[in-house]
Amino acid sequence: MNASNAPNHRAPGEAGPASRGRLVRDRSAVERFGLKSAEMYRVAYVVGGAESRRVSRSLAVFEGVSERRRWDGESALCLDFVLPHGRTLSLLSTQLVDVRPAGLNERGQWVLLAQDQERRVRRSRRRTRSAGTS
């Protein structure tokens, strides 16, 4: 057997080092943003090619993590979301820019939920003071 062919043979179900790295990275994206299944979020993500790259934002329900096949035949883990009208949105963790929880207010409108109300109040007070002294 040729030594260069030896690493290509793995037992069925055995993951290679590259797929283990992706799994850890994708799992941390769920933990980093605190994503919970069936919760509504405002998701900011990168779309488009290298020349026309832009950030889009959508309200979507997090459905979980799934494995998809890339163009080169390798598999990648995707974060799956469902938009309000039922269209699905699958994103790589590298596409995520920001994820914030959203909820319904008393008028039935979707709004961002304040995670750190104290920090935001402190920031606004500083801005008010500095604007008044100028």
Closest of 93, 91, 95 to residue 60, by C-alpha: 91
pLDDT of res. 32: 86
Task: Give pLDDT tens digits for 6-26.
Answer: 444 444 444 444 444 444 444
> Residue 2 — pLDDT band, cuts 50, 70, 90?
very low
Task: Give pLDDT tens digits for 71-118.
Answer: 898 988 899 999 989 999 999 988 999 999 999 899 998 899 886 543
* Domains of the chain with bracketed CATH: 16-133 (2.30.30)
User: What mean pLDDT do residues 47-57 have?
Assistant: 87
Report phi then psi at 100, rounded to 5: -130, 140
Q: How far apart are CA 22 and CA 28, in angstroms?
A: 10
To which residue do tokens 């939920």 refer? Answer: 113
